[in-house]
Amino acid sequence: MKLFFVLLILVFVSACDDLKVKKTSTEAILNEELQSFTWNEVDEYPTFSSCNNTETQQDRKQCFEQTLSVVILNHLEQARIIVNHDVLDTLQIRLKISDVGELSLLQFKVDSITQAEIPNIQELIASSLDSLPTIEPAIKRGQKVTTEFTLPIIVKVN
């Protein structure tokens, strides 16, 4: 009988080890979440309030980029640029929208010929950004996040 109780106790002791809950550290959980995070994509793109009535995410993105381009091009048209030679160039404007909706110009790529014909092109673009309507920042997993993107602007001056 004593042998039976000793065996029973050994079975319980060894079984208790199998019942232990493995603790996962918060760092391990965070690292696992960060691995599954797609950093190059957001759930909702930055937008203007005028673009909120669009149906799909892609439509909102297109509306945002189009509104931004129209504001910049309208500002350039009002500047009455005079050139010696025709200009047809695609400017690459790299922008950043902060998590509070502030827009900033990060980088500006322009052809040297365009720069020679319109020396103040960068200042004109920067000043056009001041007249933008309020921007709603991008959203990732329910949080407002900072985003960066490149916007091509086609400049044609005759």
From CA 146, how far away is CA 128, in angstroms rounded? 21
- Report whether pLDDT(86) > 60: yes
Q: How confident is the model at residue 152 (pLDDT cuts 50, 70, 90)?
A: very high
Residues contacting residue 117 through CB under 8 Å, at least 6 positions apart: 83, 84, 85, 87, 157
The pLDDT value given to residue 112 = 87
List alpha helices for the chain, DSSP H: 2-19, 26-36, 57-78, 112-117, 121-129
Residue 63: pLDDT over 80: yes
Range ranked top by mean pLDDT from 22-26, 31-35, 123-127:
123-127
Q: Is the pTM of this model over 0.95?
A: no
Answer for the pair 81, 113: CB distance below 8 angstroms, yes or no.
no
What's the CA angle centered on 27, arms 21 and 29, to 5 degrees? 60
Amino acid at 93: I
